[in-house]
Structure 1
Amino acid sequence: MLDRVTVASPYAVELSRMPVTTRVLPVAGSETHVWEYGECGSDAETRASAGTLVVVVHGYRGDHHGLEPVIAQLNHPGYRVVAPDLPGFGVSTPMRAVHDLDGYVEWLHEFVERVRAESPSARLVIVGHSFGSIVVAAALAGSPAGSGTPARPGLAVDDAVLINPIAAPALKGPRGVMTRVAIGYYRLGAAAPEKLGHVILSSPVMVRVISITMATTKNKALRRWIHDQHHRYFSAFANRTVVLDAFRASVSNDVSEYAGRITARTLLIAADKDDITPIAAQHRLRDSMSDARLVVLDDVGHLIHYERPIEAARAIDAFLEPSASAS
């Protein structure tokens, strides 16, 4: 029987110490719900005083909760950390555009422009996890002019951080077979009538299977909390169309497609047991970027943000140190 009792977060103490404010911003047709962490995000005056603005983009079928353990561990004086629910996920409503990669990139450009205007002198750092790493990479890279389409400039940031970046096509990863199984599952959800399709795609049993597959920790209490997080938030999507469009985007694109056009100083935080991207692909990704550093965490998989947030936050803090920026 699946757990239904709230499982306390192992990072609750650190989170409780951080001021958190929430609001809703209309962006690209989406009523985008936003959580802001730290002393510099409580009102217009403190937003304007922020020294560093960190915009966080979560992964597929997640919401802002996913990266809270990393946010809680950051050495955040002077930080304004902004974590939205992506359109169509969590409590954010869908956007006007199709929920494919282009749609999310356009949304991200507009969202960053909105929050950046409130902290005009702040250093801008953008963080993406998993599918969020693809969205961030595509936004940073921009796109050349095509037949009938104008060029899109890359998102201008000071620094970028990609956690569990999707560095190669998912179908070629260590568990390409599992990816194909997932594609079959989503196709079944798409082929069924609307209500039944939604039931299939939000099935608690399937969510537990996915959670068990991704978790690598042997710590029973931590595994139980991870499963609880997935059951609470993994099926918080607006409708079947949103979740299917975003899934197609997540398995049809990867960061390596955009790496050569990314000029921002970038930190890659990868895992040696990531079932989606082999570690060799992470090294190739680093080498293909103009200014990238790679930190590899041992004994963890695709859930760095849940299983190793302390190490991830330390890597980010070290990367954002003024001395590191100057080197």
Structure 2
Amino acid sequence: MPYTDRRIDLDGRRVAFVDEGPRDGPPLVLLHGAGFDHAELTWRLTVAALRDRHRVIVPDLPGYGDSEAIDGAQDLPGLSQWVPRFLDALGLDRVDLGGVSMGGGMTLWVAIHAPDRVRRIVPVCPYGVMAQAPHHRLAWAAVRAGILPLAYRVAAASPRAARFGLSLSYGDPSRVSCKAVAELRITARQQSQRRSFDAFLGHEMDATSLKSDLRPDLNRITAPTFLIAGRHDRLVPARHVKAARERIADCRFLQLPTGHWPMRERPDLFHPALRRFLR
């Protein structure tokens, strides 16, 4: 059975998702990141850890996994506006909402622009809290030169290259598992055709800045917030996440000894902390 074993039609596009756990109490909706990602890759361990007490819903975001891409701009606002429509399609009014990286930015965006749809939020290493990417001009030049299609092909073809790519998202590369490498290679083959991350970066990055800088609006967030950072995160450095904490009224902050993927690198630390916040 595929991991995302439920399907709905939303805006004329197929959406695949997981929906597990008891139906009483507020649902927890979790959003994955961009690039080499989908629902199972990021959140499989979290669903297994929480489904005994929480209803956990994890979609493949548009253009990832078994979900079809949306029409229009696949930038942060465009993808974030998809979230309330997904909740409507499931008949959900208010939810606990969490996400990592791009999904973390989507979580912040929804909390700012659709505050009535969220009870609590858990942005993890979120996009949207800094003006530039690390080594921004070099990263932009690499994207313009077509590095992403090459990265997809190399990662799909080479376990060693896939492991190296994953190690960039971990604080401790020795924690990269063989299963994670195999999963990433499959995802790389999918994204070499779909190019969803390319579309996102095409809208979100230019030579000098990132388009979606949510910092000026973070003070509009009223939902209780649990910001989680990775001490060794190379993509969203922890200092930016920590600074975002000061802009949100009701906010807890946790820095874990991980990279950009704490729920996979240190589930033994991540899941108990998430449980405590949700309880």
Give the TM-score of the pair, scaled to structure 1. Answer: 0.72
Would you say 1:307 and 2:265 are equivalent positions?
A: yes
| 1:200 corresponding residue in structure 2 | 150
- 1:255-270 equivalences under 5 Å are 255-270=214-229
| 1:148 corresponding residue in structure 2 | none
> C-alpha separation between the residues in 1 aligned to 2:162 and 2:116?
34
Would you say 1:60 and 2:21 are equivalent positions?
A: no
After the TM superposition, which parts of structure 1 deviate over 6 Å for at least 4 consecutive aligned residues? none
**Percent of aligned pairs with the same amino acid:** 23
| 1:132 corresponding residue in structure 2 | 103
**Structure 1 residue 217 displacement after superposition:** 1.9
Q: 2:78 aligns with which of 81, 99, 103?
A: 103
Q: How many residues end up aligned between the 2 structures?
A: 265
Cα distance change of structure 1 residues 289 and 104 upon mapping to structure 2, 3 Å threshold: same
> C-alpha separation between the residues in 1 aligned to 2:152 and 2:76?
22
Contact map agreement 1:215 1:223 (CA 8 A) in 2: no
> Which stretches in structure 1 are left out of the alignment for 5+ residues?
1-19, 41-48, 143-152, 191-196, 322-327
> C-alpha separation between the residues in 2 aligned to 1:231 and 1:297?
27
SS in 2 for 1:214: coil
Would you say 1:246 and 2:214 are equivalent positions?
A: no
Amino acid at match of 1:159: R
| 1:286 corresponding residue in structure 2 | 245
Cα distance change of structure 1 residues 238 and 265 upon mapping to structure 2, 3 Å threshold: farther
Structure showing greater Rg: 1
Amino acid at match of 2:152: S
Contact map agreement 1:217 1:223 (CA 8 A) in 2: no
Amino acid at match of 1:72: A
Amino acid at match of 2:253: L
**Structure 1 residue 54 displacement after superposition:** 0.8
**Structure 1 residue 238 displacement after superposition:** 8.1
String of CA shifts for 1:24-81, please: whole Å, max 9, x gaps.
Answer: 112234211111222x3xxxxxxxx42130111100121001111222222x334211
Q: CA RMSD in A?
A: 2.7
Amino acid at match of 2:184: H
SS in 1 for 2:246: helix
SS in 2 for 1:56: strand
> Which stretches in structure 2 are left out of the alignment for 5+ residues?
156-160
Contact map agreement 1:211 1:227 (CA 8 A) in 2: yes
Amino acid at match of 1:204: V
Q: 2:165 aligns with which of 190, 200, 210?
A: 210
Give the TM-score of the pair, scaled to structure 2. Answer: 0.83
